[in-house]
Chains A and B, each alone.
Chain A
Amino acid sequence: MAQGVWTIAEQRDGEIRKVTYEIVSEGRRLADALGQDLTVVLLGSGIKDKAAELGQYGADRVLVADDARLEPYTTDAYVSVISELVKANDPAILLIGATVEGKDLSARLSGRLGVGMAQDCTAFSVEDGNLVATRPIYAGKAYAKVTFENSWPQMATARPKVMTINEPDTGKSAEVIDASFSLDDSALKTRVVDTSKDESGKVDLTEADKIVSGGRGMKGPENYKILEDLADVIGASVGASRSAVDAGWRPHTDQVGQTGKVVSPNLYIACGISGAIQHLAGMSTSKVIVAINKDEDAPIFQKADYGVVADLFDVVPVLTEEVKKYL
């Protein structure tokens, strides 16, 4: 019978990514609820020295798959290795971070294993020994509570920034095991030929702690400077509404909403955004929402914790100066 909780670590350039600590922590809670062990699978090249510290967040053991062909991530290589390890070990739960990479991996892996999968979940629990997952659908206009039927492992991805990271216990260390796997070159059909890094140093919206976002009320691309200034001061990333992106003011990668990114930062400051339902769907899980809009009837105010009814061009520059007093 399937036994144990597994999580797949995500690393980039040999550094463990934050989402890994989130899912290892959540995996620990699920393992405790089941009274079972937590195994983390870490794939990459020359990454073994990063394995033991995952024990501080609750991993009992870390299976390390070390191979030059596992760096950088490719769907083919990861799916091949993980599906082989899963079939050999039969875990009950398989948890992955719902990052761009994690969603890609989980999608293909579910097909390879022929199992059901719950994507981008915001809560997990164990009921009668089974995994129950809660996931937003329609970009958060509704929530679905789901479970699995005759589908092992019970597979799910967790939305970044939602799962609480355990306080690291520096006295703990995970058992590190070299995974045995076969990886056939003929399975590797895609090649990463180039990587261009975003040099702005800004955190991606899906991982940002704070977001300053601008909509149609910004009136033009040149005016985003005031949002960037505020964002620089408070350490935020800059987002945009669909109308701002469709107008060509901002790149599509900045779009927040149902056809853009679904975000859940600790602070979301919406400037000149009226709050169309497709936008609200993408940001209403933010912890604190601020709306700055001169139209007091704008729907965004119904979602905002703090509403400022005023012209954003009067408010934002002053706000940038005022917050400096507290930093």
Chain B
Amino acid sequence: MNIICCLKQVPDTEAQIKVASDAKSIVTDDIKWVMNPYDEYGVEEGLRLKEKFGGEVTVVGLGPKRVTESIRTALAMGADKGMLIMDDALEGSDSLAVAKALAAAIKGLEYDLVFSGQRGVDDDMGVVGANLAEFLGIPHFSVIDKVEVSEDGKSVKVNRPIEGQTLVIESNLPALVTAQKGLNEPRYASLPGIMKAKKKPLEEKTLSDLGLDAAEFGEGARKVKIIELTPPPAREAGKIVEGETPQEKAAELAKLLHEEAKII
């Protein structure tokens, strides 16, 4: 079973996000970049399926040179090969363009299952996985917390939690799954894993290597244009609820929620 895991690099979730002076981007100076947490669940699931069925796990990343670090992390976890789609013309691409580039890279590979995170925790779009499946002409399952591949390796059954329900959905392979928290507990890379990862193949591809026209990518080709980025609306400082004892404070809080906030 051959598996592709797509990977994006994002600011660590503990990072403060500051809007840059151009009001179109964020300040990246002090940002710690990490593998998108949801992509990590995808990589882990790919590795578990490989352990069960055999085959190879290929990690495909897109972005600047620094993304190599996250691909190496996935290789250290146990993935076999890496590919980085790297091209200055990709800078500022929207979800549609990113999916197009990934599709062009993946079309040339052999695969039964493709994983991506259910969304990047940076732009919070959650679109690349579905668009990639569309461009590959395969079904997708989004926001999945359980994956079961049939013994014959020909079909997949997934659990998809929606509001108040969990759906069990199946299809034949190949298919694409976007990973949700709860799918698994990603492993840490072991020291021998890290050593081995250094020798594993990691290819770099430009848009022209993939037979793509640079004019269809980047800021200029965006279909969704950013007018401006702003910090979130500030919340006004609230009040500390008064009282001599915790019990008095609780009573005062109930009263405030009823009389002032009018919510109880």
Contacts and interface: CB of A to CB of B under 8 A. Distances in A.
Contacts of B169: 74, 190-193
A177 interface: no
Interface stretch (B10-18, B73-81, B189-197): B10-18
Contact of A323 (B135, B230, B254): B254
Contacts of B13: 139, 257-259, 277-278, 281
Interface residues of B, number: 85
A316 B253 CA distance: 10
B26, B134, B237: most-surrounded residue (chain A CB, <10 A): B134
Chain B interface mostly: mixed
Nearest to A290: B253
A112 B137 CA distance: 10
B17 A142 contact: yes
A151 B254 contact: no
Contacts of A193: 157, 168-170
A137 B238 contact: no
A117 B127 contact: yes
Contacts of B157: 193
A311 B246 contact: yes
Interface stretch (A1-9, A58-66, A203-211): A203-211
B125 to A, nearest CB: 5
A251 B180 CA distance: 13
Nearest to A310: B246
A148 interface: yes
Interface residues of A, number: 99
A274 B234 CA distance: 19
A326 B145 CA distance: 40
A232 to B, nearest CB: 14
A267 B263 contact: yes
A234 B254 CA distance: 11
A185 interface: no
Interface string A257-297: 11110100011000000001110010010011110000000
Given A111-B135, A289-B238, A194 B254 contact: no
Interface string B70-99: 000000000000000000000000111001
8 nearest interchain CB pairs?
A: A116-B223, A314-B246, A111-B134, A322-B254, A107-B130, A111-B131, A204-B163, A318-B250
19 contacts: A74-B169, A101-B162, A111-B96, A111-B99, A115-B96, A118-B224, A139-B13, A142-B19, A146-B224, A151-B224, A189-B171, A190-B169, A195-B167, A198-B164, A290-B257, A301-B240, A306-B257, A308-B253, A310-B249
